[in-house]
Structure 1
Amino acid sequence: MTVEEFEEFYAQTVGRLTGQLYVMLGDQQEAQDVVQEAFVRGWGRRRQLQRDGQPEAWIRTVAWRLAVSRWRVRRRTADAWRRTDVPAYADGPGPESVALVAALRGLPPKQRRTMALHYVCDLTVEQIAAEVGLSASTVKTHLARGRSALAHRLHDPRIEEAPGA
């Protein structure tokens, strides 16, 4: 099947297949998603689809299997959440956390990652260097610059500086 033939096949069948999957699944968005994914997979098998002679059936079958696979993943995820003792309600982040995350977003990505690895993941300078592929001195530079930038971004003018500071 040539590119043009596949595009024509797509144009002629996508609506019908989406409608069929919608009836099977009962969810329009899910039907659109799995049909599109099936067409993406079919694109790489254009010649095979032509040889088999039933490309629409192949797309429909793949779309159905994708939907079933998604259901299984969702069910396993839901089961896993039910098995854990997660409190019904968790407090959202406080204003300090929101301010910190906003300040971190203002850092360059390498500094932000280095700061997170050091202060959130509790990694040493050497561990960070090994994980991100930087020298220890570069990691130290990122940490120093990140701390300096955060100090300026998180400065609260309402807080008076201590005398003699």
Structure 2
Amino acid sequence: MTPQEFDAFYAASFSRLTGQLYAMTGDWSEAQDVVQEAFVRAWDRRRALSLDEAPEAWIRTTARRLAVSRWRRLARGLHLAGRHHRHEPPAVEPPGEEHLVLVAALRDLPEAQRSAVVLHHMCDLSIEQVAAETGAGLSAVKSRLARGRAALAAQLGDQHPTSEEGQLRV
């Protein structure tokens, strides 16, 4: 991938990827940080990346793994000073109430279920693609999706987190 292609790829996908990671992490600042770090790592290997080989999936997987690594480090109490505070998001139109309710409900799901639901319903990945990105088997992904959707339905009650097409909206 040439530097110009990489710049175009970055411009076209940074916001979408940040929104997806926000849904997974529930923290806007963390989502921005891990997506940015994933792009830095991709820049170093841009010659090996191809627009035909789903570089967005590589960025999303790398960012998700970075977020999980940070969570583990925080859980062990080995976080660096200043990494755990939240920064103000940039001045953009705030998310709607439906979005906030959905992200809050997603936060309560176990990480494996949350990742499966977000990747399948928000990133429009097939079950096979979710399995490849998460390293889980097809039956595990199907189980995580079923349990995640059931938990979301129970949490959201009469609220409708899906559009007419059945896709979760963020």
TM-score bracket, normalised by the shorter chain, equals 0.3 to 0.5
Provide the TM-score with structure 1 as the length reference. Answer: 0.46
Q: Which has the higher contact order (CA 8 A, sep 6+)?
A: 2
Compare CA radii of gyration and give the structure with the larger one.
Answer: 1
Higher helix share: 1
Provide the TM-score with structure 2 as the length reference. Answer: 0.44
